[in-house]
C-alpha cells in the first residue's frame, strides 16, 4: 500500500484486533461511494481510476474490491447511493396537501432543486457523454430509477384521490419532463437562472401539467 493510502486509513477508527468497527466500515463505504461519484462526474470514466478513488476516499484498494468486482460495479454503486439520497430528500413526513396544485408545486420544487445541484449536473454531462460505452448500465438506470418511482408514488396518490386521472407512470414521465427536463438542460448549457425565473417556470409547468390530467 502507498504511504498516501496508509495516511488515508488513519482517518478511520479501528476496533479490537485492528479491524474497523461496523460504524467505521459504513463510514468508509459512504466515503468511497461519495468520492467515486464525484470523481466520475468530474473526470469521466477514463479519468477516474480506482487508485485515485481509493486515495481520495482514504481506503485501501482491497476494501473496494471486497465490495465491487470492477470499476463498472463501483460506478453502479455510486449512482445508486446518489439516487437513494435524492429519494430520501423527496420524502417528507407530512401528508400531501389536499390541493393538488399546491402539492405538486411543493414536490416539484424539491425535485427541481435536486436536479439542479452542481454535482447532479456534472454527473449528467458525463453520463450522457459516455453512455454509449456502457449501454447495460444506461438500461439499468432507466429501468430501475428509484427517483422516477418516487414521482410515480406522488402522482398515484393524487390519482387515487380523484384529483388527476391517467396512468401514474406515464404521468410521472410527463411531469418530470415539464418540471425538470427543460430547466436541467438549460442549466447544463448556460447555468442556473435567477430563482424568480425558476419559480415562475415551475408554476407554469405545474399548471400546464394539470390542464392535461386534472379530473373534471
Residue ranges, CATH 1.10.10.60, the chain = 1-67
The pLDDT of residue 92 is above 90: no
> 1-67 adopts what CATH topology?
Arc Repressor Mutant, subunit A (1.10.10)
**Mean pLDDT for the stretch of residues 186-202:** 90
The pLDDT of residue 12 is above 60: no
- Residues 6 or more apart whose CB falls under 8 angstroms from that of 194 comprise none
Residue ranges, CATH 1.10.357.10, the chain = 79-216
The pLDDT of residue 1 is above 80: no
Distance CA 172, CA 151 (A): 6
- Cell triple for residue 165? 386521472
Q: Using an 8 Å Cβ cutoff, are 164 and 214 in contact?
A: yes
- Quote the mean pLDDT of the chain: 83
Share of the chain above pLDDT 90, in %: 46
Reported as a single tens digit per residue, the pLDDT across 112-133 is 998 898 888 888 888 777 777 7
Reported as a single tens digit per residue, the pLDDT across 143-172 is 666 778 889 999 999 999 999 999 999 999
**Mean pLDDT for the stretch of residues 201-213:** 95
pTM (predicted TM-score)? 0.74
Residue 126, pLDDT score: 80
Does the domain made of 79-216 have the CATH classification 1.10.760.10? no
- Could you tell me the pLDDT band of residue 74, with boundaries at 50, 70 and 90? very high
Strand partners, 21: none
Q: Using an 8 Å Cβ cutoff, are 176 and 151 in contact?
A: yes
Residue 206, pLDDT score: 96
The pLDDT of residue 201 is above 90: yes
Strand partners, 20: 14
Amino acid at each position: 500500500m502507498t504511504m498516501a493510502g496508509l495516511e488515508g486509513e488513519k482517518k478511520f477508527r479501528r476496533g479490537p484486533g485492528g479491524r474497523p468497527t461496523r460504524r467505521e466500515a459504513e463510514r468508509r463505504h459512504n466515503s468511497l461511494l461519495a468520492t467515486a461519484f464525484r470523481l466520475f462526474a468530474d473526470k469521466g470514466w477514463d479519468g477516474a481510476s480506482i487508485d485515485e478513488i481509493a486515495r481520495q476516499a482514504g481506503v485501501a484498494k482491497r476494501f473496494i474490491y471486497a465490495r465491487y468486482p470492477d470499476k463498472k460495479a463501483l460506478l453502479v454503486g455510486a449512482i445508486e447511493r446518489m439516487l437513494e439520497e435524492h429519494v430520501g430528500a423527496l420524502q417528507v413526513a407530512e401528508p400531501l396537501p389536499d390541493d393538488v396544485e399546491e402539492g405538486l408545486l411543493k414536490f416539484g420544487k424539491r425535485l427541481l432543486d435536486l436536479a439542479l445541484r452542481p454535482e447532479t449536473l456534472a454527473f449528467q454531462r458525463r453520463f450522457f457523454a459516455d453512455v454509449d460505452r456502457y449501454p447495460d448500465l444506461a438500461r439499468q438506470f432507466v429501468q430501475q430509477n428509484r427517483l422516477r418511482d418516487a414521482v410515480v408514488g406522488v402522482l398515484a396518490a393524487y390519482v387515487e384521490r380523484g384529483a388527476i386521472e391517467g396512468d401514474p407512470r406515464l404521468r410521472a414521465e410527463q411531469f418530470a419532463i415539464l418540471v425538470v427536463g427543460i430547466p436541467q438542460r438549460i442549466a447544463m448549457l448556460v447555468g442556473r437562472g435567477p430563482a424568480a425565473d425558476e419559480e415562475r417556470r415551475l408554476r407554469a409547468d405545474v399548471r400546464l401539467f394539470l390542464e392535461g390530467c386534472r379530473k373534471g
